[in-house]
């Protein structure tokens, strides 16, 4: 893991004080078109090995299966959008062929989040959080959903689904010497809009619509 640059900006961010890296496909924040998150060659090599391990592939398949079971319409939407944009642009690299989420993050080093929203995720969609230990889940590491006034026990090995753009969320602290790690799976809302706009940004789609209207073709 030394090639993942565990120092500096990767430990201090708006979600908390822990190491995090995001891999996969996204669109937003000034991008001209969808693309893979940019990393160093060493970081990409580490992720390539990690995502192809049987254990991580099993997690990705399980998360995909659970979304299909409990939120089948969202699973169908994510699956179709990700397939369509990857077929339209063969430079895009999926994390896993059998997982409908476009992106995933790995969170290490006592990954306890502070109050936040994930604004760029799909507002009406679901993100998944896979929890890992070791820590005493009876005493810490709870999932807090502030808008619902819920504090939920979140044992290591469990997976939670919730709309992370809509609901403010965080974790309670864990004891000194304990560790909590996680993987998250999500779909950027910009990818859905790009596909809905016939592979255009909102700006280009609006400009195209105005031109169509002026030409009397609408």
Cβ proximity of 134 and 179 under 8 Å: yes
- pLDDT tens, residue by residue, 192-209: 999 999 999 999 999 998
Decide: helix, strand or coil at residue 113.
strand
Domains and their CATH numbers in the chain: 2-214 (3.60.130.30)
What DSSP designation does 188 have?
Answer: B
What would the two tokens of residue 195 be?
């596909």
Please provide the distance, in angstroms rounded to a whole number, between the alpha carbons at the two ends of the chain: 54
The whole-number average pLDDT for the span 162-173 is 98
The neighbouring-strand residues paired with 161 are 128
Q: What are the C-alpha distances in Å from 177 to residues 25, 28, 131, 136, 172?
A: 34, 38, 17, 11, 15
Query: Rounded to an integer, what distance in angstroms lies between the CA atom of residue 185 and that of residue 121?
Result: 10
- pLDDT tens, residue by residue, 8-45: 445 778 888 888 999 999 998 888 999 999 999 988 99
Query: Rounded to an integer, what distance in angstroms lies between the CA atom of residue 167 and that of residue 74?
Result: 17
Provide the greatest CA pair distance for the chain: 68
For the entire predicted model, the pTM comes to 0.92
- pLDDT tens, residue by residue, 56-111: 999 999 999 999 999 999 999 999 999 999 999 999 999 999 999 999 999 988 89
> Could you tell me where the beta strands, DSSP code E, fall in 85-191?
103-108, 127-132, 143-145, 150-152, 159-162, 169-171, 181-186
Kindly indicate the confidence band of residue 171, based on its pLDDT and cuts at 50, 70 and 90. very high
């Amino acid at each position: 893991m030394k090639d993942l640059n565990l120092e500096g900006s990767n430990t201090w961010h708006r979600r908390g004080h822990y190491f995090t890296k995001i891999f996969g496909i996204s669109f937003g924040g000034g991008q001209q078109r969808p693309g893979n998150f940019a990393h160093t060659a060493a970081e990409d090599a580490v992720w390539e090995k990690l995502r192809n391990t049987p254990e991580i592939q099993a997690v990705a398949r399980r998360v995909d299966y659970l979304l299909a079971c409990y939120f089948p319409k969202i699973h169908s939407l994510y699956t179709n959008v990700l397939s369509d944009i990857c077929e339209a642009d063969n430079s895009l690299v999926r994390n896993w062929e059998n997982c409908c989420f476009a992106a995933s993050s790995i969170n290490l080093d006592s990954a306890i989040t502070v109050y936040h929203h994930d604004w760029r995720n799909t507002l009406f969609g679901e993100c998944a959080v896979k929890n890992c230990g070791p820590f005493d889940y009876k005493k810490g590491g709870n999932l807090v959903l502030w808008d619902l006034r819920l504090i939920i026990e979140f044992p290591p090995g469990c997976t939670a689904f919730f709309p992370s753009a809509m609901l403010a969320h965080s974790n309670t602290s864990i004891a000194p010497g304990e560790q909590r790690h996680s993987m998250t799976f999500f779909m950027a809302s910009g990818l859905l809009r790009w596909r809905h706009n016939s592979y255009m940004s909102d700006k280009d789609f609006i400009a195209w619509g105005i031109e169509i209207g002026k030409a009397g073709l609408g």
